[in-house]
Amino acid sequence: MQQAPFLPAELYGVIGWPLGQSLSPLIHNTAFQTLGRDAVYLRWEIAPERLAAFVDSFRLLRMRGCSVTIPHKVAIMPHLDDVSAPAQAAGAVNTLYWRDDLLCGENTDVTGFMTPLLACALPEDTPVLLLGAGGAARAAAAGLRAHGFSDCAVCTPSDRTHVPLAEAFGMRAVAWRDRHEVPARLIINATPLGMYGKAERETPYDFAQARTDGRTGLAYDIVYNPLRTRFLTEAETAGWRTLGGLEMFYAQADAQFFLWTGQHLPATARQALEAALLGDGKRR
């Protein structure tokens, strides 16, 4: 039976509630166009009570792949046929894909977080301070543990949510007020502080108070919008190397695209992302 001309051969998308102005469609649709694939990547706002129905529709229509964001990353796991070891370790799924006839879940946030960090070639005994305990922080914790970083402390402004994460990943739970006393050489911001539209003028860490003993390290902010957060700017002023969230965001998208298509994102996808963030103002 000939396919209707208005339907793409490959259907992809992202689900969340609320979804906001995601940049994922820009990245993936630019890649599809560049590579000449008959595919489209759409946005689907799916309320939590409709998640099971969405998965049924995904199976029925044989959609090719899907990105998963808040609040569905954990709730979607029981609806899948298989969940990868990295996703199980992180306790969350951010990508749906097919393996033969099995609908599977993966967490490319782990790969996305670690890919730029490993390029910095830090020793495994580098002392780490992780700020935050949400989904991105769990992906960071899973990646750090998988790659042998064992000297890790974690804290959150709430002084509560970091305790289960610390127990799950063998980290030290630190009180928020004591975070500057941790002699870390890798400090990771996995909180929303500094994010456009939420707390852009804030930072979770004061590098002037850091217990450095005259040494500096690497400051890694997973926030990518704006590209230069207050956290990164102040770290750079204090002499620290910096790593921005754009690298993680793009790396996790590239891992998704490769999982779905067997190809890496073309350079045009990166160019479109940077133009969106630098050109017509900050976007989410």
Q: Are 81 and 102 in contact (CB under 8 A)?
A: yes
Closest CA to 12 of 37, 41, 54, 52: 41
73 is catalytic: yes
> CA 199, 200, 205, 208 torsion: positive or negative?
negative
Are the beta carbons of 91 and 137 closer than 8 angstroms?
A: no
User: What is the DSSP track for 116-172?
Assistant: HHHTT---TT--EEEE--SHHHHHHHHHHHHTT---EEEE-TTSSTHHHHHHHHTPE
Is the CB of residue 212 less than 8 Å from the CB of residue 180?
Answer: no
Residue 243 in tokens: 């790593």
By CB atoms closer than 10 A (0-12, 13-18, 19+), residue 213 is exposed
Of 28, 73, 162, 230, the catalytic one is 73
Contacts of residue 97, defined as CB under 8 A and 6 or more positions apart, other chains included, come to 64, 65, 104, 106, 259, 260
Residue 228 to residue 195: CA distance in whole angstroms: 10
Nearest CA to 206 among 235, 226, 186, 177?
235
Q: How far apart are CA 224 and CA 229, in angstroms?
A: 8
Q: Are 212 and 177 in contact (CB under 8 A)?
A: no
Q: How far is CA 258 from CA 95, 190, 204, 213, 264, in A?
A: 12, 25, 34, 43, 5
- List the catalytic residues: 73
